Every structure is written in C-alpha cells, then in structure tokens.
Amino acid sequence: MSDIVEIKVPDIGDAKDVEVIEILVAEGDTIEAEQSLITLESDKSSMEIPASQGGVVKSIKVKIGDKVSEGAIVLTLEAGEAAAKGGDAKSAEKPAEAPKADAPKADAPKAEAAASAKPAASAAPKGGSGGPVDVTVPDIGDFSEVEVIEVMVAEGDSIKAEQSLITVETDKASMEIPAPQNGTVKSLKVKVGDKISKGSLILQLDAEGGADEAAADAKPAAASDHEPAAAAEKPAAASGESGSAKPAEAGQSKAAPAAALETDLKPNELPHASPSVRKFARELGADLRKMKGTGPKERITQDDVRAFVKQALASQGSAAPAAAGASADGAALGLLPWPKVDFTKFGEIETKPLSRIKKISGANLHRNWVMIPHVTNNDVADITDLEALRVTLNKENEKSGVKVTMLAFLIKAVVAALKTFPEFNASLDGDNLVLKQYYNIGFAADTPNGLVVPVIKDADKKGILQIATETTELAKKARDGKVSPADMQGGCFSISSLGGIGGTSFTPIINAPEVAILGVSRSSHQPVWDGKQFVPRLQLPLSLSYDHRVIDGASAARFNAYLGALLADFRRIAL
C-alpha cells in the first residue's frame, strides 16, 4: 500500500527564508531515504536537505530561488513500501528530515541536529596569553573516531577564520572543520587517516591579534558566529524512525569563495561546492579547482563535475581532436584552451579537412610526444666507403632492377646495434620491460596523404637486396594508399630517413610502444682530420630519439656511436 507524504524543511536552526539553490531530484524519480533533495544556501552556509524515507517523487513544491524556512513543503512522495516499513506515513509530515548536518549543536536535541550548526574548530590559547593557540575538534555530535580524509592546510600557511582545515568522513557523513580565527599554522597535529573525536588537537595556530583574542573567540561548538564549513552527507543523528529529524549536509562556509578556474583561487581558497559535490568529485578524481561553477554564485554542481569529467575523457580519447590539436582544448592536461581565431579577418582562407591518415597519425604522434620523455642524441657516421659500395652494387645490379638504398644498409646496421643493445629492442609494459628477440624494423614513408610506417619483418634474417626490394615495394604501396594494417604492425624500432630531402638533424618522435627511433638526415662531404690532414669524407647525420625512462643518455650515445662505426665499416656487421 502506498501513502502520499509531504517532505518538509526540518529544523534548520536559526536560519529563515533560506534560498533554494539546487533541486536534486525530479518528479517521477525513485529516491532512497537520506538521498539529498534540495540545497539551501544563505549568505553564510549551504546545506542539503535529505529525504526522510524512500519513495517516488509525486510533485516538487519548491523551485530554484524560493526562500524557505522550517516546515516549508519540499515535495510530496508516494512512500509505498518504504513508508510502510518506515512506520506511520503521517509522521513523515512532521519535519521529516534535518539537513545533513555538520555537527549538531552541543545542546540541541539529538534528533534535531541543527543545520545551521557548523563545527567551527575550537581555539584555546596554550599556556596563557601570547603563545600558540590549540585548535581542536569542536562538538561534532554523536560522531567519534572519525577519519580524517583531507588536510587542507599546511604548516606555515596563513589562514582565515572559517577557512576549512580538514575534512572528516564516517561511513555516513563527511564534514569540513573550519578555522575559528585568523592566524598562521604553526604545527599540524593530524594527518590523513587519523581518527579524531571532539577535543582532538588539529593544529597549533599563531593567532592573529594575540592569544587573548583567540581565547575570546574560541567556542567549543558551532555557534552562530561560526558557520559550518561543511557537513555530514548523511544524518548525524538519524533515529531511524520515519519523520524523525535527520541532520543533513551543511555546506560551504563563506570562507569558500565562489568557485572559479584554478587561476582565480588563492592557494588557500576552496572552490565553491557542497560537500556532496566535493565527495563526488573526489570519487572521480576530478579537481574542483579546475572547474567553473554554473550554479548560483558560481557554485560547482554535480553536472559541472560530470561535464568536466566527460570533457577530460573526450579530449584524451578522441583521435581527431588530438590529431588536429586545434580542436583539442587541453583541459585534460590543465592547459589553456586552443586559441580560436577568425582568420577571415586577416585575409582569404580555405578550410580543408585533415586526411584520415593525418588524423590517425597525428593522434598517435601527439600521445607519444606528450607521454614519452624524449631525448635526442645527434652523431655522424662516415659513410664514404659504404656509399661507394652502394654505387658499385647498383651498377652491378642494374639489370636486375633492384636498387640498393642507404635505407637498406641502415636497417641492417640497426639490427646489429639492437642485438648489441637489447634495451633498444624493447617496450615498456607497466613496471616491466619487454625485451624482444625478433627484429622488425619500421621506416617512415612520406605519402601524399601523410606519414605511414610500414615494417620490414625479421630484418635480421634478410639480406641487403631483399630489404631494399621490400622497402621499395612497401614505400610504393604506401604512396598508392594500399599499405595494409598488417604491413604496419609488429615494429620493434623505427627509422625516419629524410636524407633524400635534406636537413642536418631533427628530433624524430618515438613510435610507441617502441623506445627509440633513428632519424637520418642528408649526408654531405665534410673535411675530416685523419691525423695528418683534412680529407673529404661523406658524413651521415644520425639523430637518435630515445625514451629516457628506459634508456640512459650514455647508452644512447654508445648505440649511436656503435651504429656509426658499423656504417663506417660495414664488414663489422659480420663480426
């Protein structure tokens, strides 16, 4: 059997005509007992009013902007089973629920934990006037041995009265304990994980204005001049009976300013959000300081947190924006948004969509550039003799049609270097390094639609002519747009050769999950001192980018020098 019950604003202490700033349920919603229904906010505090029992919301009797006091009807509920279980439905019509309180007033009846009561930490001068002041946990109602889940100040911080010091949480409630007065934190006496009760020492404060004044300000429990900084999310003193007052959440103190972007907040200021929104954000790992509140007085709402998380996920997961860069707003990295410029103001433009390859490779390059700590080692290899050999081979092979390229020699030399320096033929997998015992070498191919990286499989088992044949075929396939995903999989190490185009050095981006890439620039004749005289030698610039998490600078220099020595005297490959 179901009953319609009215849920009313409970005893909210001295507060009257308090503004409704949020409605957290909708008509037709099935709600549970203690679920927050609305948020009220005065100029000094905010609090959420929970349901005293579960049921289906029939009609909501308040709207945002309404001013309500104790006894105002919040909504009607079809209580159904829940009401039956909870007892007499009529009793729910009494002030059914008390705001999720921070701390009940010390002398308030237990079941009517005051919404307006905020547990301002108590301050008492230590050893008489002039010394540091002990700031202790105020009366927090029935709670004891409550866990500290957040410490919001540090030693040396200069703090203001009502600024939140710590957040404590039980399985039912969380509340922030604010400072009773201005001062500088001399020493912190609690840490995350500590269990505290009324009277526990939170910190010692060098009080502004002297300890005498501090003593005067010190009040053991929430009083009207110390508004709650936070609140319990669940009743502090729920009797378990339908209709009994249930203390609910009280909210932000005025010390918490209207929330804004991180840059708008001073180091000790807290974003403007209710405790339940703080908890929600904490559970999702979302930083409230980076959000802009869309609620009244720029208060951060649950929807703001959701939107922030969605945006962060979208900008991490979406290939296209990451590739474009221009449309990724950098929110996930805490960066400034990408500048939006109306280029037509400055001249004619043409907008052309990025090619599919550019979008895909761009997203990969972006991730690799951001996530891998790149360092590039530059060296040169004397390829005078190798180039002479290449020219000779090509003359001999003219009839076969196979052109021996520098790239083929490079691939073969890289395989030999990987065998000598196995950590370059590896991938990071969490805390493990996966060392590969196969040698698949990728090479960057420039195509009209963008960059692709086909892979020469088992390059260690192939000769120069076969490698040259395969790279030529794969490069052609790539340029014709016919290279398959299988052609590009399984790489261990990549080579990006710009030698046919130009340049003296560059920083190639590592092709994750590989840990290094070799960039090759244009060879040129350089005067080299042979001990007696300068002689012209053909020098090939080698730019080795490596993942510094895996490879040390010394190893990279050795790898590059070793590679240079192999290219200078290719016979060493046989050793």
**Which segment (197-205, 242-250, 399-407, 426-434) binds ligand CAO by CB under 6 A?**
399-407
Length of the chain: 575
**224 vs 394, which CB is nearer to ligand CAO?**
394
Based on the shown chain and the rule CB under 6 A, indicate whether residue 76 belongs to the binding site for ligand CAO.
Answer: no
Residue from 445, 492, 510, 550 touching ligand CAO (CB under 6 A): that is: 445
**40 vs 408, which CB is nearer to ligand CAO?**
408
**Which segment (58-66, 334-342, 414-422, 490-498) binds ligand CAO by CB under 6 A?**
490-498
3-state secondary structure of 344: helix
Based on the shown chain and the rule CB under 6 A, indicate whether residue 443 belongs to the binding site for ligand CAO.
Answer: yes
Based on the shown chain and the rule CB under 6 A, indicate whether residue 452 belongs to the binding site for ligand CAO.
Answer: no
Q: Can you tell me the distance from the alpha carbon of 551 to that of 516, in angstroms, rounded to the nearest whole number?
A: 9
Residues 6+ apart with CB under 8 A from 78: 2, 3, 4, 55, 56, 58
**277 vs 380, which CB is nearer to ligand CAO?**
380
Based on the shown chain and the rule CB under 6 A, indicate whether residue 202 belongs to the binding site for ligand CAO.
Answer: no
Q: Could you confirm whether 548 is annotated as catalytic? A: yes
Place of tokens 């932000």: 252
Based on the shown chain and the rule CB under 6 A, indicate whether residue 503 belongs to the binding site for ligand CAO.
Answer: no
> In degrees rounded to 5, what are phi and psi of residue 23?
-115, 120
Residue nearest to ligand CAO (CB): 499
Handedness of CA 294, 300, 301, 305 (dihedral sign): positive
CA 455 and chain centroid, separation:
35
Radius of gyration of the chain (CA): 35
Residue from 205, 237, 238, 498 touching ligand CAO (CB under 6 A): that is: 498
Based on the shown chain and the rule CB under 6 A, indicate whether residue 358 belongs to the binding site for ligand CAO.
Answer: no
Q: CA distances (Å), 552 to each of 163, 170, 335, 510, 546, in order?
A: 47, 48, 29, 15, 8
- Taking the complex as a whole, the smallest distance from the CB of residue 468 to ligand CAO amounts, in Å, to 8
Residue from 405, 440, 511, 545 touching ligand CAO (CB under 6 A): that is: 405
Structure token pair of residue 541: 């610039």
Residue from 297, 522, 548, 558 touching ligand CAO (CB under 6 A): that is: 522
**Which segment (42-50, 160-168, 256-264, 444-452) binds ligand CAO by CB under 6 A?**
444-452
Report which of 452, 490, 466 is spatially closest to residue 409, judged by C-alpha positions. Answer: 466
Based on the shown chain and the rule CB under 6 A, indicate whether residue 496 belongs to the binding site for ligand CAO.
Answer: yes
Q: CA distances (Å), 14 to each of 117, 218, 525, in order?
A: 9, 20, 89
Based on the shown chain and the rule CB under 6 A, indicate whether residue 499 belongs to the binding site for ligand CAO.
Answer: yes
Q: CA distances (Å), 193 to each of 87, 155, 522, in order?
A: 38, 18, 61
- Taking the complex as a whole, the smallest distance from the CB of residue 564 to ligand CAO amounts, in Å, to 13
Number of residues that bind ligand CAO (CB under 6 A): 19
Given the residues 226, 272, 366, 548, select the one marked as catalytic. 548
Q: Can you tell me the distance from the alpha carbon of 83 to that of 53, in angstroms, rounded to the nearest whole number?
A: 7
> Active-site residue numbers?
548
Interacting residues with ligand CAO (CB under 6 A) = 405-407, 443-446, 451, 475, 496-500, 508, 520, 522-523, 540
